[in-house]
Chain A
Amino acid sequence: MPNLLRFHGGVHPHDDEKPRTRGLPIETAAAPATAVLPLLQHIGAPSKPVVKKGDQVLRGQAVAEAGGFVSVPVHSPVSGKVADVGKCLHPLGMSVDAVVIENDGRDASVPGFGEPVDASSLDAKAIRDRIRDAGICGMGGAGFPTHVKLSPPADKPVDTLVVNGAECEPALSADHRLMLEHAEGVASGVRLLQRALARDGRLPKTFLAVEENKPDAAAAMRSACSKLSVDCEVVELPVRYPQGAEKQLIYALTGRKVPPQSERGLPMDVSVVVQNVGTAFAVHEALERGKPLVERVLTVAGDAVGRAANVRARIGTPIAELLAARDVSPGPTRLVLGGPMMGLAQFTDELPVMKTTSGVLVERREEEEPDRFGPCIRCARCVEACPMQLVPTRLSVLAEAGLFDAMAEWGVVDCIECGCCAYVCPARRPIVHQVKLGKWMLGQAQKKAAAAAAAKGGAS
C-alpha cells in the first residue's frame, strides 16, 4: 500500500444517484436503427472517412481512418448501408463530420469479431498499433488517443502505470459495474497496457485506483489480478471529488506533481501514464476478443429517469433511442452528457453515444433558473476547494471585468474545469464557464497574433 497523500481542496458533492445506480447490473441496450458516428470523438485530428454513401459495411469494419498520429479510426457498430457521409452535432456544440449507418439488423460482423485471440506473443509496438487500429481513446471523458499515451518519448521513460477506477463523478457507476462484472477482462487489459509500456523487459509499477466507496469492485479486481497473476496493486482512495482527476490521482499515489498546463506538463513528465478502467477493458476486448471499440458501458441516471441503468450501448446510438427505454418523465428536464460535475448540458437528444460518453443524465427542472449571479463576497471557499491551488475568485472577477490577459497571469490555463469552485460558491457564480471563456479568449488572441505574424512574415 503506498503512502497515500491528500491533494489540496476537493469537495464531496451531494449524490443521490450513485446509491441508486451502483447496484444495477450492466444491461445491453438495443442496437440503434441508425448509428451516427462523429469523426471527432477523441482529442486530436479528426478521422478521415474511408466509406462513401451507399457502401455496405460490416459490424466492426473501419469507416474512418486516423487523420494523423494523434487520431484514431472509427468503426461501425452495426452492419448495414452507409446512409450518409455528412455532418452531425457534437456535444461540444459544433457541427462535425460524421458517417451515418443504417442498421440492417443482421449484425454481420468482420471475421474474428468477438472470438478469443491469443495476444501473448505481441511486442510493445504491435500492442500499440493494434490499440490504435481498434480506435481506442481514453474512455474516462477526455478521449485522448490511447496509443499516443503509450508511446512516451525516449527522454521521458515511464515507470508507473495508474489504472483509474476512481469514478469520482457523482451519479456514475459504469466503471464500478465494469470492474465488478468484467474484472478479469479489465485485469487482462491492464496486463496488455503494462506490456505496451515495458522497458527492457521490465513492466511498470502498476496501481489500480478505486475510491473507498467501491470495496466490492476493489475485491473483485484484487482476485482477478491474482488469478491472472497481473502485477497490479489495487489501492482504495478516500472518497473526494476530483480524486480521479489525472494530476490529483498521480499526486495521491506517488507524491509526484505533474507540471502545470502552462508548461505543457503531462503525466509522462513525471514518468506516469494514467488509463481509465474502461480503456483497459476496451484494450482487452480489442486485442483478445477481436472487437474494435464499437460499444461502451455508460450510466443512464438523473432524477427524471424512471429506470436508471448501467448499459452497454453501441457507439453511435442516438441518445433519444437510449432514453426511450428508460422511462424518462415528461416536463422540463435538462440533459447532461457526462457526470453532473463536468458533464455538458445539451439542448437536444439528437446526439449519438460517443467513445467518451460516460453518462447520460436527465435532471428535472422545477422552475426557470435565474441566469443572474451574485457578486463575489470574497469568502474564499473556492480557493479552499480548488484542487489545482488556483484562485478561482480572482479568475471569476477578472473574467467579469473582461481582463483576460490578467487571467492568464493567474494561471487560467492550469484550470482542469472540475467545477469544485462553482459547486461551493454561495453567490452561484458560473466560475467554470468564466474560466472557459477566459481560455477561449486567450486562444483567440493567440490565433490573431499568429495570423498577424504570418501576414507580416508573408509581406516582407
Chain B
Amino acid sequence: MTQGMLVFAASVPYGPAIGLLAGLGVLFGVALYIGSRKFAVKVDPRVDEIVEALPNANCGGCGFGGCRAYAEAVVLKGVATNLCAPGGPAASAAVARIMGVADVGAEMRVAVVHCQGAPARSRSRGEYSGLRDCRAAVVPGAGGGAKSCAYGCLGYGTCVEACPFGAMVMGPDGLPQVIERLCTACGRCVEACPRSLISLHSKKQAVFVLCRSHNKAKVVREVCDVGCIACRRCEKACKHDAIHVKDNVAVIDDAKCTQCAECVKVCPRGVIWDLSAARAAYSGTRAPAEATAQVGG
C-alpha cells in the first residue's frame, strides 16, 4: 500500500510536492485544532443572544458604540436592560428575559423641535450663501445664518441628515418635522443641532413650549411672531408648579406636568402647544402649519 503510494508519487509529475503539501496540511490542521482548544476565548452566549434581540441599527442612542458594545456592557458590566430606544418595549423585555431580571420597561420617547420660527413667521437679517449645514452656519466667521433670532432654527437640515431612521424631514415651511412613528429617540438630532433646539420627551408628554429664545421680549417681538416673551401668564395659570420662566423663556418640567393644557390657553404668542390632538391627526410633533397660523397669526 505505502509502496504503491510512493510508486504513485514518484510516477506522477510534481508527486513529491503534492505529498509534502498534503502532509503539511494535516500537520497544520492538527496544530490549529489544538491551538483553538487551548486558547479558546469563552464568549458569554448571552451577548450573542442580546445582539440578536436588538434592532442592530448601531445608532449609539444607548451611549455605547453600537449594539454589540451595548450587549457586552449589559452582560459584563450589568448596565441597565432598557436603554435601547429603537428596540422599544420589545427589546427591553427580550434583554431582561435573556439576563433573567425583571423588565423595567422602556420609556417610549420622541424628539421634539422647540422652534416654530419658520421663515414666514420670523425675520431674516440677510442672505446666507455658505454651506447648507447648520453647524457650518454658526462657525465663527460664517455669520450665524440668515435668521435674525440668535436662538431659532437655522433650517439647513443638519438634524434631518443626522437621523439614521428617516424620522425627520424638512417641512414645507422650512422647519424640520419629526415623524413620531419612525422616531426611536436615539438622540442623534439632539447632538447635531448647534442651537440645541431638539430634545427628547416621553411620548406621554404632549404639552410643549416651542421656543428656546433667551432674547428679551423686545427683541423677540422684533425678530419672530411665535417667540416666548416671558410674560409669565403660563406660570400663573399652572396649578401644578410645572412651568416656569427661566432666563427669558418658559420651560415645562415634564415630571410635574399633568397635560391639563391651562398654559396653552393663556399663551398670547402661540408658543405653548398641546400636541395630543395634533398627534392623533398628524404624524409630526409640531402642530400643522394651518393650525399654528390660526393661533399665532
Contact = CB atoms under 8 A, between A and B. Distances in A.
B142 interface: yes
Contact of A430 (B126, B131, B138, B140): B131
Contacts of A433: 130-131, 136, 139, 142
Contacts of B135: 437, 440-441
Counting chain A residues whose Cβ lies within 8 A of the other chain, the interface size class is: 10 to 19
Contacts of B128: 371
A371 B128 CA distance: 9
Given A430-B131, A433-B130, A434-B131, A347 B143 contact: yes
Contacts of A434: 131, 136
A347 B140 CA distance: 14
A347 B143 CA distance: 7
B125 A348 contact: yes
B268 interface: no
Given A95-B150, A436-B136, A437-B136, A344 B141 contact: yes
Contacts, number: 53
A346 B130 contact: no
Interface residues of B, number: 20
B133 interface: yes
B136 A371 contact: no
A93 interface: yes
A92 interface: yes
A93 B136 contact: no
Contacts of A94: 140, 144
A369 interface: yes
A369 B129 contact: yes
A434 B137 CA distance: 11
Contacts of A369: 129
Interface string B141-157: 11110100010000000
Interface string A352-386: 00000000000000000101000000000000000
B240 interface: no
B148 to A, nearest CB: 10
Contacts of B133: 437
B34 to A, nearest CB: 41
A345 interface: yes
A86 to B, nearest CB: 12
Most chain B CB neighbours (cut-off 10 Å) among A95, A347, A371, A430: A347
Contacts of A371: 128-130, 132
B192 to A, nearest CB: 10
B139 A346 contact: no
A297 B140 CA distance: 25
A241 B294 CA distance: 57
A273 to B, nearest CB: 26
Interface in B170-187: none
Given A347-B125, A347-B126, A348-B126, A93 B140 contact: yes
A151 B130 CA distance: 39
Contact of A92 (B130, B132, B140, B150): B140
Ranked nearest first, the 9 interchain pairs of A and B with the lowest CB-CB distance are: A347-B126, A93-B144, A437-B136, A92-B140, A440-B139, A93-B143, A436-B139, A433-B131, A371-B129
Given A95-B150, A347-B127, A348-B126, 10 more contacts: A93-B141, A93-B143, A347-B125, A347-B126, A371-B128, A433-B130, A437-B133, A440-B135, A440-B138, A440-B140
Interface of A: 92-95, 344-348, 369, 371, 430, 433-434, 436-437, 439-441
